[in-house]
Amino acid sequence: MSCTYTYPTGHKITKVFWTKNPVKGDESPDLFKDPEYSQRLQYLGDKQQNCTIRLSHVTQKDEHEYCFRFITDKPDGKWIGRPGVTLTVTDLQVESPERVTEGDSVRLTCKSSCALTDGATFIWYRNSQPLTERRDRNNQLLLQSVRREDAGRYSCALHGHTYISPAVHLRVSGAGWGVSYSHSHICALKNSSVIMNCTYTYPTGYQVKKVFWTKGPKMKGDESPDLSNDTEYSQRLQYLGDKQQNCTIRLSHVTQKDEHMYYFRFTTNVTKGRWVGRPGVTLNVTDLQVESPERVTEEIQSV
């Protein structure tokens, strides 16, 4: 508890001490003589201006108002610094989502019930082992693109303190099969280009071998044709994605003949590791028409 004090010229300090919960008119007890404090309280100040103390191994029992007091060589040379320092003792808790999916970004927070002192440095642990890489931001630990290896019991502590928070279990589940489209229906102008935004996921351990778009409707179980091999599409269809997560395409010079449901499909290195994103994207193609009355009558005014 950082502290400074002043007194008039001509006084000489004879005694300095700290007390707690002072009552006006009562004699303030010296905490250095209290067996509950004597082994934990260290005076870091002097008998001039500095009255700082360090209190170690604090618990909820130490939640009091602490005040500094000094006595000089003059009969009226007594002073107590009121109001003093109110101490609140808190523990730490890790706040975390219970379950996340591979590839997600996760933020864990080391929380306390009151504001800790400025400049507090947090240390994070996984399965009781300190994390050597610094991924903490203030009292937060950011895990980007989590993997299954990131699963475990996370706890936190303040640098220089022995107390470690209770551990919280973070579970990381594998990504499932899925295809997601930004829009399920698109209306496009004739002869324009259309972009169908799309992303896909698949379980860990699989390797994507083939990606393609097809059109419907198709009966379940039918083999889906690859539009890039279709002469009506091969020169107009451009795959903008990859073999990881992005499955976006651009279809150029669209006409009414292109009005179908389009969906993405991919296969992996596992025999049953294939997926088709149904329902897909329904494309409607329109042109522009000017609407006008067939005949109007000129109005002639006589002067």
pLDDT value, residue 114: 79
pLDDT value, residue 53: 93
92-173 shares its CATH topology with 178-286: yes
pLDDT value, residue 302: 60
pTM confidence score: 0.51
pLDDT value, residue 253: 96
pLDDT value, residue 151: 87
- Run of H or E including 72: strand 65-72
Is-contact 283 186, C-beta < 8 A?
Answer: yes
Indicate the CATH number of 178-286 among 3.90.1150.10, 2.60.40.10, 3.10.450.230, 2.130.10.10: 2.60.40.10
Every domain of the chain and the residues it spans:
13-86, 92-173, 178-286
Burial class for 173, CB neighbours closer than 10 Å (0-12, 13-18, 19+): middle
pLDDT value, residue 299: 65
pLDDT value, residue 217: 59
pLDDT value, residue 294: 79
92-173, which class in CATH? mainly beta
Residue ranges of the chain whose pLDDT lies below 50:
none
